[in-house]
Structure 1
């Protein structure tokens, strides 16, 4: 019985084998709890100031360009600079942006435009930071522990994602926006102190300086790998058409359940945590492309059902199922990326990945906000889920190599394993 339970529980091997992984795990939990507070407080403040779903959805529009520009540049920078210093600098920058939100919220009449400026700034900082974080994980975790590391990282993010939104809904409702932003600031301050304890992660001696040519080299590598293209394309389709989080405040109103807004955000994280907490079996999977496809399909179906049902409890169950599907797909994507991409290109490819899993949600916010103003909130949600499932099916048919990916036979995976083992021996 004990062995069966152990086979289901998360694999803790990365936690035991890497001190830096442990530091990043705890740091990320604290930082994400604080940022989740702002993630809820910011669209709620825009809603309170404007009453417009389009204004809330416009957050995605102002975040899009900085994310694209700084995501690509951040990827090139992660291959050319010390990844530890880059993470510390961007985390401090996010703290400064939290100060702006806090000061604005404390004004007698808070202004709208700083909220969009900060949203764009957060997008830029995230674009610079995420490639360095992802590339660092690929360096400090052994090759055969990548799926376990992805599951543990997702568990960390989603624990913050459950506690942060649930707490934010209560904090904003009973204390206002300023205390929520204050908690965000405190989280980033602690995070910076923990990141200072990470070991240096310098670039290779022959690393090129960030340049358009270097970014183009990374893009050419991605374009030459159908398996990578499939992971990016499926995630983009799923997020663009089935990421309606920006209009959750209006969904809560439509269902006459304003009290449920925090639970809607938390339900997605709950489903993700549940899948991560029972992820032990995923470490034995070798065909990770199947996880990508099936997980994205579950996400789309569950989002469609959430928009169709008019019972709030059924909606919450569907959102939890969606979170589990998204996590399953994410585990497959992260494992493929970290198992196959060479270290000298990992930052630049991580920059492309930032666009894959971040631009999609931003466009999804714009799409859902605009469509909700045209067709109504619930129609905007369920129709997006249906299109997501159809898009995943078409992409799977067009890129069959993704389904056939096997970590034990794929040439890129075997090459990356040999590269990491050689670096360990040096």
Structure 2
């Protein structure tokens, strides 16, 4: 039997080794009750203000709670690619905005030293967009502190590069994370971590940097929700009303939201009440993810649907492509039978697809939920079928 020292008897600390590392899960240790250790952890977790210009070196504890109404809001998007060509282009052209001649003062990159990053670069990479509602937040500090906390949560030692873009109405930061960390581990983030934990962490850091939102800021944000072209908490409330929605039961913001949904062809206005159209929630969810979807939906008269995977064959009615790495904008509008389908495509590079009959076999969609360019196969053209019909 293994002997124990007197110190071992009274410390009651975990004596087992950590579980074998799982690169796809957050690292956990076997549970052992240790009241003193838990109290120490709680004391260490008292939040402290993050310094504004220290590159994220000073920080509070890891954030794992839910955001309150006074916490700063941060828009957060993630995409993923396994192309070395796309990876190189993102680092060399898109982050420093070398592909934008209208940007005179190019942004400087920060994060891991370029030489260290390039030496370990692999095709797989993650691209984040971070855009706080409060434009006074130091974006470099926000991104740096975010990476530090993600490393603490996952155990990775990440290789990453970031840049702040100021050429739009809303300043935002871009972050690229290499698919392997400094220790050669494959980097993977669970969907739940992306959807919830990362968003809440960014909100917490932004609140530490800029302070809680004022009542005026909260009211202004609420007004913006009325005309948001995506799913909002106002829509969550509307979803609770089945069938006819009487205006007398609603607040002014809710009434205005319904009026806006009616303008978008997602609700019908009747005498004294509204009725939401079938699929209105799916349309708003799709519009929040793909910012060209809603315009195409309205142009179609409400007949357009979002591709749900599983394969499709039909004629390309429209090609939506941008000469920059904003892949959630690229898409094909395909007429399949009587259906009109919006198919998001990851970095569409194929030319001359308009009017062609294409076939997409896509049983397993990736993290980006977009079809790969290589998965689109041209099987014919509208002109060819018309000529064939005339000959017959």
Bigger helix fraction: 1
TM-score (ref. length: structure 1): 0.24
TM-score (ref. length: structure 2): 0.25
Of structures 1 and 2, the larger Rg is shown by 2
Structure number with the bigger relative contact order (C-alpha 8 A, sep ≥ 6) is 1
